[in-house]
Amino acid sequence: MLNIKQGLRNLKEDYVDGSHWVLKAVGTVLLAYALMASVLGFYWNSEPDVSQPPSAQTVIGEATTKALLHLANTLLDKPGGYLSNDVSLPGVWMDNIPNWEYGVLIQVRDLSRAMRKDFSRSQSQSTEDMDLAVAEPQFNFDSESWMLPSSEGEYRTGVNALTRYLDRLSDGQQSKAQFYARADNLTRWLGDVETRLGSLSQRLSASVGQKRLNTDLAGDAEATQSTSTASELEIKTPWSEIDDVFYEARGASWALIQLLRAIEVDFKSVLEKKNALVSLRQIIRELESTQETLWSPMVMNGSGFGLVANHSLVMASYIARANAGIIDLRGLLTQG
């Protein structure tokens, strides 16, 4: 009987020792994984640099198409790849770069739509380009789909279609792939840019909260809307979304700098004729200020004239000035 009790005691001690060994091994693996994920997260959290301005184009539309391809490829091939749909560490922890990606993606979607709808067509009754008709809906796929299908796979299909368009555009023997650098085409795309920047400016400015008069129906005595709203609105971005809006604005600005530089090349004759080249360059200059280094470890949200900086208001100032420049540029382009 004594031997049986001793055997059971030894068996229990062996089980406890084995359990401790397993727990230690699992804990070590988890700790190493978390450490590796933290290092990768720090590396992946860096924003790509703005590329060099394009050289003089050989074919009209080549610079703009290459710039669009650069944006899409950067989303997919930068350190860590595309992070917005990650479900594992460290991507699932990160939110700055995924919001940056979304800002870039919106600009990719807007320009791919403009290229399909306007830039590649001579008039409203002309046939749309077959490859741009594939690329545009691919870039509008859900940005957070992990699989079946994945966002990356759909965007890669769009990149391949856009590459085929560029190859045909650069081939002097082909006449079906076209890019029409006209003032009306550029004005319509700039209208999309204007509304995007206006929205970002308002959301950034709302970081401190403010009361605004409702101007939704201003300027038209006969204007109506679906449901009534208050004459004075309280606008404030939730504290948990302040850095999200900030990095979305940085991503959108990063993309626009490179797109507008390409526009300067492809639409140079149009801009010179309208004496609008310097206006475009000033818009680019304003947007370049949004890419300055953020020295604070986090996006600060001090009050308007308080002791602590408010990075959102600084970003809003740059974007608002760029947006004002876009409005003026559109006015120059529509003048005879």
pLDDT of residue 33: 57
* 203 contacts 237 by C-beta, under 8 angstroms: yes
For 27-48, the pLDDT digits (tens) are: 676 666 566 655 665 666 788 8
**Which residues, including other chains, have CB under 8 Å from residue 213's CB and lie 6 or more apart?**
231, 232, 233
Q: What is the CA radius of gyration of the chain?
A: 26
State the DSSP string of 36-69: HHHHHHHHHTSPPPPPPPP---SSTTHHHHHHHH
* 276 contacts 332 by C-beta, under 8 angstroms: yes
The H or E element spanning position 94 is none
Q: Enter the tokens of residue 28.
A: 């070590």
For 99-118, the pLDDT digits (tens) are: 999 999 999 999 999 999 99
End-to-end CA distance of the chain: 109
Strand partners, 213: 232
pLDDT of residue 15: 47
Mean pLDDT, rounded, of the chain: 85
With 50 as the cut, is the pLDDT of residue 8 above it?
no
Cα 68–chain centre separation: 12
Peptide linkage before 149 cis (omega within 30 of 0): yes
With 80 as the cut, is the pLDDT of residue 17 above it?
no
With 70 as the cut, is the pLDDT of residue 11 above it?
no
Q: Enter the tokens of residue 244.
A: 């999200």
Which of the four pLDDT bands, split at 50, 70 and 90, describes residue 172? confident
Q: Among 158, 154, 155, 165, which residue's Cα sits nearest to residue 129?
A: 165
pLDDT of residue 217: 65
* 187 contacts 280 by C-beta, under 8 angstroms: no
Lowest-confidence region among 97-111, 170-184, 248-262: 170-184
The 3-state DSSP class for residue 234 equals strand
Lowest-confidence region among 53-67, 103-117, 212-226, 245-259: 212-226
pLDDT of residue 268: 94
Q: How many CB atoms lie within 10 A of CB 133?
A: 14
Whole-prediction pTM value?
0.86
Q: How many CB atoms lie within 10 A of CB 22?
A: 10
Q: How far is CA 92 from CA 37, 38, 41, 84, 298, in A?
A: 10, 12, 10, 8, 18
* Percent over 90 (pLDDT), the chain: 54
